[in-house]
Amino acid sequence: MRHIDRDLDELKRSILLMGAMVEESINKAITALVDRREELAAEVIGTDCLIDQHELLIEEECLKLLALHNLVATDLRFVVTVMKVGNDLERMGDLSENIAERASFLARHPPIAETQDLGRIADIVRTIVRRSLDALVALDTDLARQVCGADDEVDGLHRATFVQVQEIMRRDPATIARALQTLSCSRQLERIADLATNIAEDVVFLVEGESIRHRYRG
């Protein structure tokens, strides 16, 4: 085993660990939101700084590898991809923390009328995040391409939620604060799906050396 291989292996381990942390954070934030569990929201808010620290570590590792080794082809693409994925994951962690903060607020106040689509968005986002990370672990481009197509549904549902929330606010102005928080959650979830799609696109780039970004955007 080359010395660089060991380092690259360690980097892969590191980025997958970060992926695992972010996925867990998103799962918790979503569950806190949908099931109104304030204690889970607090856990998410407490762990986001760990994710941020981890991103810094990964970035440092990547820069060190780029500086010390004359990387080419797959190895170079791998390091570049890890930097990008690390960045996306960190953003996802932040969004997850945002959702958790809103979930915590919503859990402490009486529920507003059901916005059916929010639960559905949450389910799809959870799946997209899981699959994009699965694609990254297995370097599975087929799976990655499936993920790229899946966030259209989230966009559609987000728009539907927007309309529902507007209607709730119009019916009862007392719900405005809660309705806005709900809408914001829907927006953050949609952003998470976008970032997960980025990761899937990066996987295709890593394996095939060709960028497929800006192709799936309708």
Exposure string for 32-49, b = 16+ CB within 10 A, e = fewer: bbeebbeebbbebbebbe
Q: Which residues bind other proteins (CB under 8 A)?
A: 9, 13, 16-17, 19-21, 23-24, 27-28, 31, 34-35, 40, 133, 137-138
Full 3-state SS string of 147-206: HHHHHHHHHHHHHHHHHHHHHHHHHCHHHHHHHHHHHHHHHHHHHHHHHHHHHHHHHHHH
Give the shortest CB-30-to-other proteins separation in angstroms: 9
Give the shortest CB-166-to-other proteins separation in angstroms: 26
Give the shortest CB-140-to-other proteins separation in angstroms: 12
Please identify, using beta-carbon distances, which residue of 35 and 60 lies nearer to other proteins: 35
Give the shortest CB-13-to-other proteins separation in angstroms: 5
Please identify, using beta-carbon distances, which residue of 31 and 141 lies nearer to other proteins: 31
Please identify, using beta-carbon distances, which residue of 47 and 169 lies nearer to other proteins: 47
Please identify, using beta-carbon distances, which residue of 5 and 166 lies nearer to other proteins: 5
Residues 64 and 55: their CA atoms lie apart, in Å, by 14
Give the shortest CB-180-to-other proteins separation in angstroms: 25
Contact (CB, 8 A) for 78 and 206? yes
Contact (CB, 8 A) for 63 and 69? no
Give the shortest CB-82-to-other proteins separation in angstroms: 14
Who's near 7: CB < 8 A, 6+ residues apart? 61, 65
Listing DSSP states for 27-50 in one string gives HHHHHHHHTT-HHHHHHHHHHHHH
- Looking from the CA of 77 toward its CB, the CA atoms found within 13 Å total 14
Please identify, using beta-carbon distances, which residue of 26 and 83 lies nearer to other proteins: 26
Please identify, using beta-carbon distances, which residue of 138 and 180 lies nearer to other proteins: 138
